[in-house]
């Protein structure tokens, strides 16, 4: 099998894949609101669901995951483009989130996190009553006046 090697293309590929740091890599995500909750979808393909950790500390949601690649002991790598190691993403939740009701699921390499809006932040209707406004009785000393 003939392979073509272009060193400049390889440098381009490596510079787009590497963020120049060792340690946790970035988890790409989408976030949108649907009705009374937010949906966060994070790409974590090839990650064992048991290695995913989601926690809420104050107003910060943190997603951590670990991807390990299994290889034969005597493997001779020709190319290795799939990243492995730790992945992390943090998101500031802000006010109005029901942190106790956050739930998550994992399917086909996508982690979906449902973040509900708290009851006090949901839009609500204010009931309007018909009729004369209520009068308030104010007591001042011996006489009673109505306002």
What value does the mean pLDDT of the chain take? Answer: 78
Which residue would you say has higher pLDDT here, 29 or 21? 29
Q: For residue 25, what pLDDT band results from cuts at 50, 70 and 90? A: confident
Q: What is the pLDDT of residue 20?
A: 46
pLDDT digits (tens, 9 = 90+) for 117-127: 887 766 677 88
Q: Going edge to edge, which strands form the sheet with 25-26?
A: 25-26, 85-92, 60-67, 53-57
Query: Is residue 132 within 8 Å of residue 147, measured between CB atoms?
Result: no
Q: For residue 17, what pLDDT band results from cuts at 50, 70 and 90? A: very low
Q: What is the pLDDT of residue 144?
A: 52
Predicted TM-score of the model (pTM): 0.64
Query: Is residue 113 within 8 Å of residue 90, measured between CB atoms?
Result: no
Averaged over 39-65, what is the pLDDT?
Answer: 92
Averaged over 68-79, what is the pLDDT?
Answer: 82
pLDDT digits (tens, 9 = 90+) for 95-106: 888 989 999 999
Q: What is the pLDDT of residue 5?
A: 56
Contacts of 88 (CB under 8 A, 6+ apart): 24, 25, 26, 27, 62, 63, 64, 65
CB atoms within 10 A of CB 38: 18
Query: Is residue 25 within 8 Å of residue 85, measured between CB atoms?
Result: yes
Which residue would you say has higher pLDDT here, 6 or 19? 6
∠ CA 38-40-41, nearest 5°, is 145
Two structure tokens written together for 23: 């340690």
């Amino acid at each position: 099998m003939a392979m073509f090697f272009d060193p400049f293309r390889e440098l381009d590929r490596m510079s787009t894949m590497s963020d120049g740091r060792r340690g946790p890599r970035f988890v790409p995500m989408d976030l949108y609101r649907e009705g009374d909750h937010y949906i966060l979808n994070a790409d974590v393909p090839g990650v064992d669901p048991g290695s995913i950790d989601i926690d809420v500390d104050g107003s910060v949601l943190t997603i951590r995951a670990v991807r390990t690649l299994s290889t034969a002991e005597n493997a001779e790598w020709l190319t290795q483009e799939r990243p492995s190691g730790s992945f992390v993403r943090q998101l500031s939740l802000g006010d109005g989130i029901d942190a106790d009701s956050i739930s998550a699921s994992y399917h086909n390499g996508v982690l979906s996190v449902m973040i509900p809006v708290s009851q006090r932040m949901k839009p609500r209707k204010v009931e309007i009553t018909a009729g004369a406004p209520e009068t308030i009785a104010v007591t001042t000393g011996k006489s009673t006046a109505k306002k």
